[in-house]
Amino acid sequence: MNPKEIKNMIDFIAKSGLAEVNIETEEFKIKVKRDTEAQVIASAPAAAPAPVAAPAPTAPASAATEAAPAPEKAAAKDDSSKYVEIKSPMIGTFYRSPKPEDPAFVNVGDTISAGDKVCIVEAMKLFNEIESEVSGTIVKVLVDNSSPVEYDQPLFLVDPA
């Protein structure tokens, strides 16, 4: 590969949203990996709108029922603030296991380490294994199996303690 081909490949990968690509031939071996830590740090404030969207269907209810969700919202923010989100690095379809008959990569209560595979996101017929960037215990799976996910959408809550 010449430098122009490498640059074009890197540009394509950046636009596609892939987190990591490995290419190996007889002549060379190349690995391109995005720095996803900067994305996680920058996206931390984006977690606040998610709890706001969930109570929206209760808005037409009576004033008595509206008072009840307010403490739940505050409690949810306090509880989830100690958890770290594992987010989707791309748009695609979320899978909890490598094959439908195989067990899930992780379940609620499982202890994970940084670098452990937690799920697969399929994008354009490519199955991308998503690795955890944090160590801890899986507290909640936020996405159903075989569901579409957006870029930067939270997939799991992890208790880093």
Query: Looking at the structure, do residues 105 and 28 belong to the same domain, yes or no?
Result: no
Count of domains in the chain? 2
pLDDT at 53: 46
Residue 118 has what pLDDT? Answer: 94
Q: Are residues 51 and 104 in the same domain?
A: yes
Nearest Cα neighbor of 15 from 40, 32, 38 is 32
| Whether 98 and 119 share a structural domain | yes
The rounded average pLDDT for each run of 10 residues, N- to C-terminus, in the chain (161 residues) is 72 72 72 56 42 47 46 50 90 93 93 93 91 93 94 93 77
Q: What pLDDT score was predicted for residue 2?
A: 72
Task: Indicate which CATH number applies to the domain containing 136.
Answer: 2.40.50.100
Same domain for 15 and 89? no
Q: Are residues 87 and 72 in the same domain?
A: yes
Query: Cα separations (Å) of 139 from 30, 68, 86, 128?
Result: 36, 24, 11, 23
Same-domain status, 8 and 80:
no
CA distance linking residue 155 with residue 95, whole number of Å:
10
Q: Are residues 116 and 132 in the same domain?
A: yes
Q: What share of the chain is helix, strand, coil (3-state, %, to 5)?
A: 30, 30, 40
Q: Are residues 7 and 41 in the same domain?
A: no
Inter-CA distances, 122 with 55, 60, 157, Å: 30, 38, 21
Q: Are residues 72 and 148 in the same domain?
A: yes
CA dist 144 and 138 (Å) reads 15
Predicted local confidence at residue 140, as pLDDT: 93
Does residue 43 sit in the same domain as residue 28?
Answer: no
| pLDDT at residue 80, rounded to an integer | 60
What is the SS3 assignment for 108? coil
Residue 27 shares a structural domain with residue 74: no
Q: Do 123 and 78 reside in the same domain of the chain?
A: yes
pTM, rounded to two decimals: 0.51
pLDDT at 74: 46
Tell me the residue range of the domain where 73 lies.
37-58+65-159
pLDDT tens, residue by residue, 50-67: 444 444 444 444 444 444
Length of the chain: 161
